[in-house]
Structure 1
Amino acid sequence: MASKAPKVQKSTKRKDTESSANFDALKSKKPKLASSNSDKKHHTKPKSVGDNGNGVNLSAKERRIEAKEEAEARKKRRRPHYTLEQELASLWEKMRRRDISKADRSKLLSEALQKMKGKIPEIACSPLLSRVLQTCVKYCSQAEKEAVFNELQPHFVKFAFNKYAVFLLKKMLDGASKQQRAACISSLRGHVASLLRHMVGSIVAEHAYYIGTAAQKQELLGELYSTELQLFKDLNSTNEKRVVDIIAKLGLKKDAVIRHMTAVIQPIIEKGIVDHSITHKLLIEYLTIADKTSAAYMMQHLTGKLLLRMVHTRDGSRLAMLRLKHGSAKERKMIIKAMKSTDEMIKENKSHVKNMAFDQFGSMVLTCIFTIVDDTKLVTKIIVRDLEPILKDLVVEKHGRKPLLQLLHPNSSRYLSHDDLASFDLSVPSLCVMDESETSSQTKDSDVKESGEEAEDEQEDTVTERTDVEENVTVGGSKKDPLLRRQELLVKSGLAERLIDVCVENAEEFLKSNVGKEVMYEVARGGADGILLPSLSEKLRVLHEAIASVAAKPKSQEPEKKSEHILEDFHSSRTIRRLVLDCPAFASILFNNALSGKCRMWAQGHCSKILSAFLETEDVQVREMAKEEVQVLVNEGVVKIPDPKKPE
C-alpha cells in the first residue's frame, strides 16, 4: 500500500503538466475565420425575400400587412382593453375638436361614457383613456359627471399616486360640487403626509389644498402637525390656525408635535419636493415652535436651488427671507450665487432674477436682499446686472418696481403693503435668542479654563459659538450702514444712471402709468435722503427738462383724441404736482419751459392743481417766481388753494 501511493501522485503530476501544455498551445493558436468549414456545416440558408416561412413568397405590401396584423395581435394579448381604446380614441378625436357643435359633442360624450361604464376604475390609469375621461368630465352634463365621480371616488387615493390619473383627479376637483369636493378631500385623510412625499401625489394634495375652503385647508394641515389631529377628526375642527395656538388650546405636548412634524418634513426636503404652498405653510409653522437645533438643521437644508423653487408663494418667499436673515455671510453668498443664470438660460434669454422680479412674492425676496446683504459687489454682479436690461418693464410692472423703490425710498408704506412690511419683521424665535442656561454654562466654562493648549482650543470654540449667536440675535444680520449699502447698489453700481436714462426716454409713458409714476417721482426728486443728488445732479436736470419738454407740447384741440396731455391726465398731473411741492429744481424748470405766460390757458381741470402747488410749496423762490401769474387766477377764483386742514 505504501509503495502504490507515490505512483498515483506521480501520474497526477504528469497529467497536470500535460494539461498546462495543452492550454498554452491553445492560447498560441489564431482564432478561426468566420468562413471556416466547421461554420459552414452549421450554417442555415436564410429565407428568401418575401418568404413567410411556408415557402410562399410575399410582396412588400403583403409583408407590411402581415407584420401589422401580428403587432395588433400582440397588443390585444398584452392590453385587455385594447379594442375599447381604439373605439374611444376615434370618438375622442371627434369630440375634442373646436368646430364641433354642442349637440354633436354631447352625443359623442354619451356614447363614450356608455362604453366606459363600469370600467372607469380600470382604465383611469391608461395614458390614452385617462385623457378621454378628462374631456368627458370637462364637457359632460352634471348627471354624467356624477356617474363618473361615483365610480372614481372610492379609488381617489389610489389614483392620486398615478402619473396619468392625477390630471383626471384635478379636473374632477375643479368641476365637483361642494359635497363631492368635500368627499374627495376627506378621503385624503390619513394620507396627506405620504402624498407630499410622492412626486405625483403631492400635486393632488396641493390642488386640494389650493381650492379647498379654510376649514378644509386646516383639515389637511392638521394631520401634519400631530398624531392626535390625524386620528381624531373632532380635534381638527378647532378655529385656531397657528400650530402654537392649537398646542395651547388642546394641551398637546410640544416635543411630540416637533418630532411628528420633523418626521413629516425631513423626507420631503430630502427628496426636493418643495414646490407646493402646503409644504411652505408647514415649514413656516414648524419654525415657529422648533427648538434651536431643529430650526438650524432645517434651515441648513434649504439651499439656494430649493429656495428658488419656493419663492413663488407667500410662505415660500418668507422662508427665503428668513433664510437670508438668519444665514451667515457665506450662506447668503451661496443663495445669491444660485440665482446666477446658466449658459443655456442666457441663450434662451431667461434669468432666475428676471422671473423673481416679475413675481408677486419673488420680488420681495430681491427687496430683502437689497435691504440686508452686505456683499454689494456680489449683489451687483448677479442681481443688478440682470435687472438693468429690463428696467423699462420693471418700472411699469406692479411687482417688478418693488426692488427699485426699496433702493430709492426704503420701507415706504406708500409702495409696500402692510403684509410686505410685516414680512421684513419676521424671525425664527429659537434662532434669535440663545437659552440663558446655555449662555451661563459657556461663560462659566470659559472662566474656569486656564492656560494650556486644550484650554485654548476649547476657549476658541466657545468664542466661535458666541459669535454665531450674536449674528443671529440681530435679525437683519447686516453690519453695513443702510445708506452706504444703498449708495453702493444704486449709485456706484451704475443702476441709477441707467434708470435715469430709461426715465428720460419714456417720460410721458411713465408719468401716465398708474404704476410707473411712482418710480418716476422718486427718481426725479433724487430719492429719499437725496441719495441721487450729489453725483447725478446733471443727469437729473436732463430728466427735469425732458418732463418739461413733454409738458410744453401744445394742447390738443381734438376732443375725440384718446391720449390726454400730460398736464391734464389724471395720474401724470398728480405726480407733477408732487414734484412741484417736493423738488424746487424741477418746479423752476417746469414753470420757465412750459407754464410761463400760459397759466390762464391751463387753469382748468387737473392742471389747476399743479398751478396751485406753486403757491403751496415751501420754497420761497418758486413761490415768488409763479406768484405774479398764479395769484391773479386765485383771486379770480379760477384756481383754488386747498385747505391744509382738510385732506386732499
Structure 2
Amino acid sequence: MAAKNQHGSDPKKRKRLPSTKGDGQTSNPKKAKLPSNPSNKGFKKPFKSSKSEHTSKPRFDKSEMGEEREVPKSKREVRLQAKELTEARKKKRKRHYDLEKELASLWEKMRRRNIAKADRSKLINEALKKMTGKIAEIAGSHVSSRVLQACVKYCSQDERDTVFKELRPHFLSLACNTYAVHLVTKMLDNASKEQLAGFISSLHGHVASLLRHMVGSVVIEHAYQLGNATQKQALLVELYSTELQLFKDLVSIKESRLIDIISKLRLEKASVLRHMNSVLQPILEKGILDHSIIHRALMEFFSIADQSSAADVIQQLSGPLLVRMIHTKEGSRIAMLCVKHGSAKERKKIIKGMKGHVSKIAHDKFGCMLLVCILATVDDTKLTTKVIIRELQAVLEELVLDKNGRRPLLQLLHPNCPRYFSPDDLASLNYSVPSLCTKDDLKMDTDLGKQIKSSEVVEGGEDESDAEEKTTTGSPDESLHLNEGGKKDPLLRRQELLLNSGLAESLIEACRVKAGELLRSNHGKEVIYEVATGGEGDILHPVLDKLLALYEAVASIAAQPKSEGPEGDHLLENFHSSRTIRKLVLDCPAFASTLWEKALKGKCAMWALGHSCKVVSAFMESPDSSVRKLAKEEIQPLIDSGVVKLPVTRQLE
C-alpha cells in the first residue's frame, strides 16, 4: 500500500469540498466556507451580469422582424379577426364545412311554419341533391343531422326511400352517434313494413352490444316498440343465449316465455343464466334502465334465476334507479318484486329514492301499482308516511279525480277490491320470484291465480247499475285478499297510514269540498263512496264527526232547486251521481237519514221520474228498517200508483 502522510491521508487523493446547494450556499453554512482562491478545482465563479448587459437592445427589434405588426384599432376588428381564425380552423377540421353552411341556410327556410308546401318541396329537393352520396358522412354532424331529419319528415316517399337506401349499410355505426341517432329513429318512424323488417334483421347479433351503449340502446328500444310480436321476440331472444345470437334460424320460434324456449330447444339452463347475467350486469352498472325490452329481459331472468343471482339483482335495483323503470308494465312488476323480496334496508332505499316523484308516480298507469304494493307491504309506516303519504296529501284534490291517482287511496280504504283493480293488477301484486319463495308461497300463488280466473269482476264505470250494486254491496269476504309481504297486521298498518298520519281527515275534507264534482265524475264517485261508507271494516269510524259534515255537504247540494236546463245538471239527475247516491242510501243509514231530512222530504213526487227515481226507490229498498220507516208514508202512495217501481225481488219481500 502507498505510504500515508503524518495525518493519515492519501496525498494523491483530491480534497473533498463541502457540498453546495443549487443557489451556491452550503448545506451547513457554519461549518463549510467557500475557498478564498477561486482558481481551485471544483469551484466555478458565479456569473455576474453587468448593467451594460441589462441595458442592451431588445431581443426582437422591429427592423429585424421586417414590417411592423398591424394592431387592430377597434373591438369590432378584433372580433372579425377572431371569427376569421375560427372559420379557418373549422375548414381544416371539418371536411364538409362549406356544405354544412349551405344546408343550414336551407334548413332555416324549410322549417318555417308559414312556408308553402311547394316552396318547401323545392328546398328539400335542393338540399337532398347537395347531400347525395355524402349522407352517411354528414349524418353524424350536429347541423346536418337536423337538416336530414327535416328532409325525411317532409319529403316524398321516393326521396325517403333513396335516403334509406343510402343509409342502410351504415345504420349500426350511426345508431351509436349522439346526433345521428335521432335521424335513425326518424327513419324508422317513416319506414315501410319491409324496411322496418330489414332494419330489425340487420340488428341480428348486435342487440346485446347496442343495449350496453347509452345511445345505441335508444335505437333498439325504438325498433322494439315499432315491431310486431314476432319482431319483438326476435330482438329479445338474442339476450338469452349465445346459440340464439349465432344461429338466425333458431330465433324464429313462437314461444314467448324463456322457460318454454329452454325446454323446446333443449338449452342448458345454467348456460342461459350465465349468458343473461353477462349481458344484464353491464346494463345495470351503467344504469340503462329506461327501456321496456330490458324490463322484459329482467322479468324472464327472474323466472330462471337461482337464489343468489336473483338477490344480487334485487339489491342492485333497490334505490333511485327503480323510479326510471316503473313507467312500463314489466318495469312496475320488477319494482314490486324488489319491494316484496327486498330486505328492510332495501325497502328503505326504494322509498327514499321515490322522494319528490310520488305525485308523478301516482298519476302513472303502472307506477300507481308500485305505491299500492308499498302501502300493502312495507311495515315501516313512519317512513312511508314521511315520504309517500305527505306527498299524496299535497295533491289530494287532484288524485281523487284521477283514474290512476285514486288507486293508492282506494287500496287503503278497501284493500285489493276487484271492483277497483283488474285481475291483471291483482295478479301483479302477488307476483314472486320462484327461487326466493317457499313452497307454501308458491302453492298460495297458484291458488290465487285460479281464484282470479274464476271470479267475476265488474270494471269501474260500468253502465249497468245492477252489476254495480252487486259488487259494491257484497260482503267483504267476496273480495280477493292477497298475500301481505310484511309481518305487521294489515288492519293495524292501514290504521297507521290512514288515521295516525292525518290522511283520513284530509281525504274527507277534500271530498267535502269537491262533493258535487266527485259524485258526477266516473272515477271520483268511487272514492267518495268508499269515504262516505267508512271504508272496509269501518276504518274511518274514529272520524265520524268529519263524515257527518260530508253527509251534510252532499245533502245541501242535492237540496238545490231542480234545474230548468237540460237533464243531468242537478245532482239527483246526473247519471253517475244518481247511482252513487242510491248506493249510499242502501249502504249507509246515517247518510240516508241526512239526505231525507234536508233534500227529499216532501219532494218525492217531483223526483219520481228520470234518474232521480232510483234515489227515491232506494229508501224503500234499504235493508235498514229505520230508513224504510222514514220514507214509507210518502213513497208508498207513489208505489201503489205505479209512478215508482221497485225490483221484483223487493216487491215479493
AA paired with 1:310? M
Within-5 A mapping of 1:530-545: 530-533=538-541, 535-545=542-552
Equivalent residue for 1:507?
515
Confirm whether residue 77 of structure 1 aligns to residue 92 of structure 2: yes
1:99 aligned onto 2:114: yes
Give the match for residue 633 of structure 2. 628
Mean Cα deviation higher: 563-572 or 488-497 = 563-572
Instruction: Provide the C-alpha distance between the structure 1 equivalents of 2:139 and 2:271, rounded to a whole number of angstroms.
Output: 40
Measured in 2, the distance between the counterparts of 1:591 and 1:239 equals 62
- Measure the CA separation in 2 of the matches of 1:585 and 1:104: 72
Match of 1:592 in 2: 597
- 1:476 deviation in Å? 3.9
C-alpha distance 124-411 of structure 1, shift in aligned 2 (>3 A): same
Q: Is the aligned partner of 1:527 residue 2:546? A: no
Deviations 1:69-110 (A, max 9, x none): 333222211111010011000000011111111111111111
Residue 206 of structure 1: aligned partner: 221
- The one-letter code sitting in structure 1 at the alignment partner of 2:312 is Y
Structure 2 counterparts to residues 228-247 of structure 1, below 5 A: 228-247=243-262
Answer yes or no: is 1:317 the counterpart of 2:317. no
Following the alignment from structure 1 to structure 2, what is the Cα–Cα distance between the partners of residues 293 and 643? 62
- What is the letter of the counterpart of residue 374 of structure 1? D
1:490 partner amino acid: L
Tell me the alpha carbon deviations over residues 156-194 of structure 1, each in whole angstroms, 9 at most, x when there is no partner: 111111111111111111111111111111111111111
Could you give the per-residue CA deviations for residues 483-530 of structure 1, whole angstroms, max 9, x where no partner exists? 111111111111000100111111101111111111011001111111
Counterparts of 1:244-255 in structure 2 under 5 Å?
244-255=259-270
Q: CA deviation at 1:44?
A: 5.7
Whether 1:225 aligns to 2:240 is yes
Give the aligned partner of residue 402 of structure 2: 397
2:203 aligned residue: 188
Alignment CA distance shift 1:161-1:8 (3 Å): farther
- How far apart are 1:22 and its partner, in Å? 2.0
Change (3 A) 1:481 1:42: farther
CA contact (8 A) 1:274 1:309 kept: yes
Give the distance between the partners of 1:53 and 1:632, measured in 2 at CA: 119
1:62: how far off? 4.8
The answer to whether the 8 A contact 1:317-1:361 is kept is yes
Say which of 11, 14, 28 aligns to 1:10. Answer: 14
Q: Pick from 489, 498, 508: which aligns with 2:506? A: 498
Is residue 269 from structure 1 mapped to residue 259 from structure 2 by the alignment?
A: no
Q: Does 1:152 align with 2:167?
A: yes
- Provide the residue aligned with 1:112 in structure 2: 127
Structure 1 residue 227: Cα displacement:
1.3
Cα distance in 2 between the residues matched to 1:619 and 1:157 = 72
**Residue deviations 1:557-600 (CA, integer Å, cap 9, x gap):** 134xx971111111111111111111111011111110111111
Q: Residues 192 and 544 of structure 1: is their aligned pair in 2 closer, same or farther, counting only changes over 3 Å?
A: same
Distance change >3 Å, CA 162–CA 37, structure 1 → 2: farther
1:477 aligned onto 2:485: yes
Q: Alignment RMSD, CA only? A: 2.7
Q: CA deviation at 1:303?
A: 2.1
| SS of residue in 1 equivalent to 2:14 | helix
* 1:353 matched residue in structure 2: 358
Cα displacement string for residues 433-469 of structure 1 (whole angstroms, at most 9, x for unaligned residues): 389xxxxxxxxxxxxxxxxxxxxxxxxxxxxxxxxxx
- Alpha-carbon deviation of 1:46? 10
SS in 1 for 2:522: coil
2:560 aligned with 1:553 = yes
Q: Quote the offset at 1:64 in angstroms.
A: 4.2
Q: Matched residue of 1:22: which SS?
A: coil
When the two structures are superposed, what TM-score results if normalisation uses the length of structure 1? 0.86
- Structure 2: distance between partners of 1:279 and 1:40: 76
Amino acid at match of 1:420: D
Check conservation: 2:20, 2:26, Cα contact below 8 A.
no
Aligned partner of 2:473 in structure 1 is none
Could you tell me which amino acid in structure 1 is paired with residue 537 of structure 2?
Answer: D
Kindly indicate whether the alpha-carbon contact (under 8 Å) linking 2:20 and 2:27 is maintained by their aligned counterparts in 1: no
For the residues of structure 1 that align with 2:2 and 2:484, how far apart are their CA atoms?
A: 96
**C-alpha displacement of 1:53:** 6.3
User: What is the CA-CA distance between 1:17 and the residue it aligns to?
Assistant: 3.7
Distance 2:257 2:66 in 1: 74
Unaligned residue ranges in structure 1 (runs of 5+)? 28-35, 341-350, 436-473
Give the equivalent residue in structure 1 for 2:583.
Answer: 578
Residues 341-373 of structure 1: CA distance to partner in whole angstroms, max 9, x if unpaired? xxxxxxxxxx21111111111111110011011
Deviation at 1:639, TM superposition (A): 1.8
Give 1:431's aligned amino acid. Answer: L
Equivalenced residues, count: 585
The residue that corresponds to 1:90 in the other structure is: 105
Cα 1:298–1:161 shift into 2, 3 Å: same
CA distance in 2, matches of 1:538, 1:112: 73
The equivalent residue for 1:22 is: 24
Secondary structure of 1:299's match?
helix
Where does structure 2 lack aligned partners over 5 or more consecutive residues?
Answer: 30-50, 441-481
How far apart in 2 are the matches of 1:247 and 1:645? 59
- 1:512 touches 1:571 (CA, 8 Å); kept in 2? yes
- Higher-Rg structure is 2
Partner of 1:167: 182
The CA deviation at 1:42 is: 7.8
SS in 1 for 2:340: helix
CA contact (8 A) 2:107 2:147 kept: yes
Structure 1 311/70 Cα, relative in aligned 2: closer, same or farther at 3 Å? same
**1:600 match: secondary structure:** coil
Q: 1:247 offset after TM fit, Å?
A: 0.8
Aligned to 2:470: none
Seq. identity, %: 59
Shift of 1:248: 1.2
Instruction: Tell me the residue number matched to 2:468.
Output: none
Cα 1:227–1:593 shift into 2, 3 Å: same
User: For 2:272 and 2:190, how far apart are their aligned partners in 1?
Assistant: 36
> One-letter code of the match for 2:365?
Q
One-letter code aligned to 1:219: A
Q: 1:26 to 1:191 in 2, by over 3 A?
A: farther
CA distance 1:45–1:607, shift in 2 (3 Å): farther
Q: Which residue of 2 aligns with 1:143?
A: 158
Contact 2:393 2:503 (8 Å CA) reproduced: yes
Counterpart residue identity of residue 376, structure 2: T
Distance in 2 separating the partners of 1:304 and 1:640:
59
Change in 2 beyond 3 A, CA 1:24/1:644:
farther
Q: Which has the higher helix share?
A: 1
Q: 1:152 to 1:549 in 2, by over 3 A?
A: same
SS at match of 1:511: helix
Picking from 144, 148, 151, the partner of 1:133 is 148
Contact persistence 2:335–2:370 (CA under 8 A): yes
Shift of 1:272: 1.2
Between the aligned partners of 2:61 and 2:327, the Cα distance in structure 1 is 64
Distance in 2 (alpha carbons) for counterparts of 1:205 and 1:270: 19
Partner SS for 1:104: helix
